[in-house]
Amino acid sequence: MKAVILAAGRGNRLDQKTKKIPKPMLTIGGYSILEHQINFLKKNGIREIIIVVGYLSYIIKNYFKDGRSFGVNITYFDLDKPLGTAGHLKLAKNKLTDDFIVLYGDIMLDMDIKRFIKFHKNKNSNCTLAIHPNDHPHDSDLLEIDDNHRIIAFHSKPHLKDKYLMNLNNACVYIMSPKILKYIKSEKEVELDFGKHIFPKIFKKEKLFGYNTPEYIKDMGTPERLKQVTKDYLNNKIQRLNSKNKRKAIFLDRDGTINYDTDNLSNIDDFKLLPKTAQAIKLINSSEYLLCVVTNQPVLARGLLNFKDLDKIHKKMDTLLGQQGAKIDKLYFCPHHPEKEFPGVPELRIKCNCRKPKPGMILKAAKELNIDLANSWIIGDSWRDIEAGRNAKINTILIKRNQQKFEKCQFRTKKADNLYSAVKLILK
């Protein structure tokens, strides 16, 4: 499989740093961003690389030449003027006859490429986007996926006020079929961007999928992000977050832990974050723990809420947290309830392995995200959360909601007054 690196941009947001050097040649840990990317591709067996260059292109070409000294084969396409990410790629279309990988030239990453490719092939996808939640969804281009991970909507920034959106961001790493290139049809010399101009127009025609991964994929396009990426590289965080490595996780219950529990919450207006929830989640985000929500939602089985409206509530949760710089890595919910004698949705009135205190949601997350359960935690406000944690063999913290139940909890567990103090206890 070939790879295309889009490295033609200047990086105006980096100001003086890119006055005499193209953005992809800025260094992190003694190596340029572009060299990090080339080494990453080579490590994963990808040695045929096309680089689209533009601003100060001679610096890139003089350094890497044909790539032979770096153990790869490099072909260049040189731009006279910016054409946008899609326009840049169109130049190389005659060299792309099979599925290929696309990287933007300003990202640092470490991910399990083989797993990414396997996902792409299993879905028979025409284009697969690496996606993830981030801590600034309000100023990001967002998208939505269905239960099969197929992309069903794009939301370019700026977003409408008071509109709740899923926090899934285009990470700018793609596996693409050459079929997609036929949609780049600009007769004029204008800039065309995949995220803004191409993908939103074709996702209903072509099979576009989102590969949701918590692995490290981060752009360094601002001074602040460049500083953070440099710090993450120097302490080996980028490599540690590769999904080949087991990661610790903190699992959170939803109602009564993240938001006020109104008993069978079914009205979106009733969803409100508890105090210091976002601060607590930001602490988890700044650590190397994954954050997963695992929530029983029997309102679905009881017919009090449908899947579409539950999705809206979770979009509100994503939006409210994102406004404060916090994010959830993955959310799991159980729609079942075993009480068949009550009215509701018959096919959801079943005994299952996912409803807490069963550990199904935790075990599913562990399999999907390669989680180290022995060093993971669950925080919740109910005995069901604590027992689910015990059944999954993870550590547990019960937070106070009902004082009497809190004091009389029969299970051996750590206790905390609220989510924030529980997270501080774990990180301490």
pLDDT of residue 156: 86
Which class would CATH give 2-240?
A: alpha beta
Residue 319 or residue 80, greater confidence = 319
Q: Which of 151-160, 163-172, 182-191, 296-305 has the lowest mean pLDDT?
A: 182-191
Q: What residues contact residue 126 under an 8 Å CB cut-off, 6+ apart? A: 176, 177, 179, 180, 206, 207, 208
pLDDT of residue 190: 61
Mean confidence (pLDDT) of the chain: 92
- Looking at 106, 253, 261, 318, which residue is catalytic? 253
pLDDT of residue 82: 66
Q: What is the mean pLDDT of residues 309-329?
A: 97
Q: Which of 242-251, 293-302, 408-417 has the lowest mean pLDDT?
A: 408-417
In the CATH scheme, what is the code of domain 249-427? 3.40.50.1000
Residues 70-81: pLDDT tens digits?
Answer: 999 999 998 876
* Burial (CB count <10 Å: 0-12, 13-18, 19+), residue 106: buried
Q: Which of 4-8, 185-189, 191-195, 393-397 has the lowest mean pLDDT?
A: 185-189
Active site residue 329: no
Q: Which of 164-173, 358-367, 404-413, 416-425 has the lowest mean pLDDT?
A: 404-413
* Burial (CB count <10 Å: 0-12, 13-18, 19+), residue 425: middle
Q: What is the mean pLDDT of residues 266-280?
A: 97
Active site residue 112: no
pLDDT at 27 over 70: yes
Q: How many Cα atoms within 13 Å fall on the side-chain side of residue 161?
A: 0
- For residue 162, name the pLDDT band (cuts at 50, 70, 90): confident
How long a stretch of residues is the chain?
A: 428
Q: What residues contact residue 59 under an 8 Å CB cut-off, 6+ apart? A: 21, 22, 25
DSSP state of 133: -
Tell me the percentage of the chain whose pLDDT exceeds 70: 96
Residues 19/225/365/310 CA torsion (nearest 10 deg): -100
Q: What is the mean pLDDT of residues 123-145?
A: 94
Residue 18 or residue 233, greater confidence = 233
pLDDT of residue 400: 87
Distance CA 117, CA 99 (A): 10
Cis before 335 (ω within 30): no
The first and second tokens of residue 70, run together, are 């770096």
pLDDT of residue 159: 87
* Exposure string for 19-49, b = 16+ CB within 10 A, e = fewer: eebbbbbbebeeebbbbbbbebbbebebbbb
Backbone angles phi, psi at 103, to 5 degrees: -125, 135
The first and second tokens of residue 356, run together, are 């807490």
Residues 329-362: pLDDT tens digits?
Answer: 999 999 999 987 777 899 999 999 999 999 999 9
Residue 407 or residue 39, greater confidence = 39
- For residue 322, name the pLDDT band (cuts at 50, 70, 90): very high
Spell out the domain ranges in the chain. Answer: 2-240, 249-427
Distance CA 197, CA 188 (A): 14
What's the Cα-to-Cα distance from 184 to each of 53, 75, 82, 89, rounded to whole Å? Answer: 19, 21, 15, 9
pLDDT at 328 over 90: yes
Q: Which of 2-6, 137-141, 170-174, 197-201 has the lowest mean pLDDT?
A: 137-141
- Looking at 135, 141, 255, 318, which residue is catalytic? 255
Q: Which of 133-142, 208-217, 306-315 has the lowest mean pLDDT?
A: 133-142
The alpha-carbon radius of gyration of the chain (Å, integer) is 23
Distance CA 183, CA 181 (A): 5
Helix (H) or strand (E) holding 52: strand 48-53
pLDDT of residue 147: 93
- The one-letter amino acid code at 393 reads K
Residues 181-227: pLDDT tens digits?
Answer: 999 875 555 678 888 889 999 999 999 999 999 999 998 888 998 99
